[in-house]
Structure 1
Amino acid sequence: MKSIIDLILLLIDKGIDITVRNGKLIISNEDKLDISIIKEIKLRETELISYFSVINQNNSTDSIPRTDISSSYPLSSSQRRLWVLSQFDGGSMAYHVPSVYVFRGVLDISALEGSFRELIGRHEILRTVFRTVDGGDVRQVVLSAEDAGFSLAYRDLIGEGYAIEGGGVEGLLSSEIVRPFDLSSGPLLRAHLYRTGPSEWVFLCTMHHIISDGWSMGIMVKEVLSLYGSLSSGLVSDLPSLELQYRDYASWESGHLSGTFFLSLVPTG
Structure 2
Amino acid sequence: MNAEDSLKLARRFIGLPLEKRQLFLQALQKEGVDFSRFPIPAGVEVEDRQALSYAQQRMWFLWQLDPASGAYNLPGAVRLKGALSLDALERAFASLVARHETLRTVFQRQAHERLAQVAIEPSLAVEHLDLSSLSPIDREQAVNAAATRQSLLPFDLEQGPLLRVQLLKLDEQEHVLLLTLHHIVSDGWSMNVLIDEFIRFYDAHERNEAPQLPALAIQYSDYALWQRRWLEAGEQARQLAYWQARPGR
User: TM-score interval w.r.t. the shorter chain?
Assistant: 0.7 to 0.9
Name the structure, 1 or 2, with higher relative contact order (CA <8 Å, separation 6+): 2
Which residue number in structure 2 is paired with residue 87 of structure 1?
A: 64
Contact 1:131 1:138 in 2 (8 A): yes
Alpha-carbon deviation of 1:133?
A: 1.2
Contact 1:72 1:140 in 2 (8 A): no
Which residue number in structure 1 is paired with residue 55 of structure 2?
A: 78
When residues 69 and 188 of structure 1 are mapped into structure 2, their CA distance, relative to the original with a 3 A threshold, is farther
Alpha-carbon deviation of 1:56?
A: 2.2
Once the two structures are superposed, the pairs formed by residues 1-269 of structure 1 within 5 Å of their partners are: 54-58=34-38, 60-61=39-40, 64-68=41-45, 73-89=50-66, 92-143=69-120, 147-158=121-132, 161-162=133-134, 165-166=137-138, 167-259=141-233
| 1:212 counterpart letter in structure 2 | S
Contact 1:181 1:208 in 2 (8 A): yes
Q: Which runs of 5+ in 2 are unaligned?
A: 1-25, 238-249
| 1:165 counterpart letter in structure 2 | I
SS at match of 1:94: coil
Alpha-carbon deviation of 1:169?
A: 2.3
The percent of aligned pairs where both chains have the same amino acid is: 32
TM-score (norm 1): 0.69
Q: Deviations over 1:164-199 (max 9, x none)?
A: 634222112212221110000100001100111231
Alpha-carbon deviation of 1:219?
A: 1.8
When residues 249 and 197 of structure 1 are mapped into structure 2, their CA distance, relative to the original with a 3 A threshold, is same
| 2:34 counterpart letter in structure 1 | V
| 2:78 counterpart letter in structure 1 | Y
When residues 65 and 150 of structure 1 are mapped into structure 2, their CA distance, relative to the original with a 3 A threshold, is closer
- When the two chains are superposed, the root-mean-square deviation of aligned CA atoms in Å is 2.8
When residues 224 and 71 of structure 1 are mapped into structure 2, their CA distance, relative to the original with a 3 A threshold, is farther
Alpha-carbon deviation of 1:80?
A: 0.7
| 2:109 counterpart letter in structure 1 | T
When residues 151 and 262 of structure 1 are mapped into structure 2, their CA distance, relative to the original with a 3 A threshold, is closer
Contact 1:72 1:141 in 2 (8 A): no
TM-score (norm 2): 0.74
Greater share of residues in helix = 2
Deviates more, 1:92-101 or 1:180-189: 92-101
When residues 98 and 125 of structure 1 are mapped into structure 2, their CA distance, relative to the original with a 3 A threshold, is same
Which residue number in structure 2 is paired with residue 16 of structure 1?
A: none
Whole-angstrom CA distance in 2 between matches of 1:237 and 1:70: 34
Contact 1:153 1:193 in 2 (8 A): yes
Whole-angstrom CA distance in 2 between matches of 1:199 and 1:193: 13
| 2:83 counterpart letter in structure 1 | V
Deviates more, 1:122-131 or 1:218-227: 218-227
Whole-angstrom CA distance in 2 between matches of 1:74 and 1:55: 21
- Count of residue correspondences: 207
